[in-house]
Amino acid sequence: MKILLIRHGEPDYEHDCLTEKGHVQAEKLAERLMREYRIDKVYASPMGRAQETAKHYVGHSAQDIETREWLREFQVHIKDCVKDEKVVVWDIYPKNWTDNALLFDKDNFGNAPELAGSEMYARYREAAEGLDALLSENGLVREGGIYRREGDTDKTIALFCHFGISCVMAARLMGISPMVTLNGFSAEPTAIATLCTDDRFGENVNFRLHGWGDITHLGSGEFSGINYK
């Protein structure tokens, strides 16, 4: 199975939609997806900017969009214990989170003092359970830290969503703490992340990351500038 985690185009956050530039990016993305992939299922966040990005693709492919509420942006605020203030989970100061080994623990990161009183772990569980249910519908059943194949899993599924939730899903699939991906990965508008099952070992499979943050469809001009703001 191949999973494509796709960030929306340049957003107008105030109105939860795409900017004019974002629509151009989304169309370039759609054209690439039609050229290079055979996508079997299309899922999307309920948020406007993700829906609009997905609609550019299905406008070409004539597929249906399956909306999943748990794919909405992972906009969680946690405590920066050194600064003593709340910050969005991917903006904690590097020195302040890299010194805490508990945040690197995939099973126990929820017990870190930084996460006390936040919805971080609850949102992570919601996303993890939503992802596992989606994969089960497509023939991969979670068993411990791996997935067991049931039936035909030779398919490609695309999830049109957001940076934060993509980081959380990648962490779930690769068996690492989401704090690592949320604070160590980056993704520009319409970036594609590709994760594939390693099928060499029979019915039990794990996922491998084959690419992250791919925006080659935007070329090297005005639509592809790296922006960390």
Q: Where are the domains of the chain?
A: 2-72+128-218
Q: What is the mean pLDDT of residues 48-63?
A: 97
Q: Between 162 and 96, where is the model more confident?
A: 162
pTM for this predicted structure? 0.94
Tell me what the pLDDT averaged over the chain comes to: 93
- Report the b/e string of 79-111 with b at 16+ CB within 10 A: bbbeeeeeeebbebeeebbeebeebeeeeebbe
Torsion over CA of 226, 207, 107 and 78, rounded to 10 degrees?
20
Look at residue 42 and tell me whether its pLDDT is greater than 60: yes
DSSP state of 65: P
Element spanning 53, H or E: helix 48-61
Question: What CA–CA distance (Å, rounded) separates 152 from 198?
Answer: 15
Look at residue 50 and tell me whether its pLDDT is greater than 60: yes
Q: What is the pLDDT of residues 111-144, one digit of tens each?
A: 998 888 899 999 999 999 999 999 999 999 999 9
Element spanning 44, H or E: strand 41-44
Q: Between 225 and 11, where is the model more confident?
A: 11
Per-residue confidence (pLDDT) for residue 116, from 0 to 100: 86
Give just the sign of the alpha carbon dihedral 160, 162, 165, 168.
positive
Q: What is the mean pLDDT of residues 37-53?
A: 98
Look at residue 229 and tell me whether its pLDDT is greater than 50: no
**Among 71-75, 83-87, 177-181, the least confident range:** 83-87
% of residues, the chain, pLDDT over 70: 96
Q: What is the mean pLDDT of residues 97-119?
A: 91
How many Cβ atoms sit within 10 Å of the Cβ of residue 49? 27
Per-residue confidence (pLDDT) for residue 226, from 0 to 100: 52
Of 87, 125, 133, the C-alpha closest to 109 is 125
- Report the b/e string of 205-225 with b at 16+ CB within 10 A: bebeeeebebbebbeeeebbe
Look at residue 227 and tell me whether its pLDDT is greater than 80: no
Confidence of residue 80 (pLDDT cuts 50, 70, 90): confident
| The residue count for the chain | 229
**How do strand 85-88 and strand 140-143 relate by DSSP bridges?**
unpaired
Determine whether domain 2-72+128-218 maps to CATH 3.40.50.720.
no
**Among 83-92, 134-143, 168-177, the least confident range:** 83-92
Per-residue confidence (pLDDT) for residue 225, from 0 to 100: 56
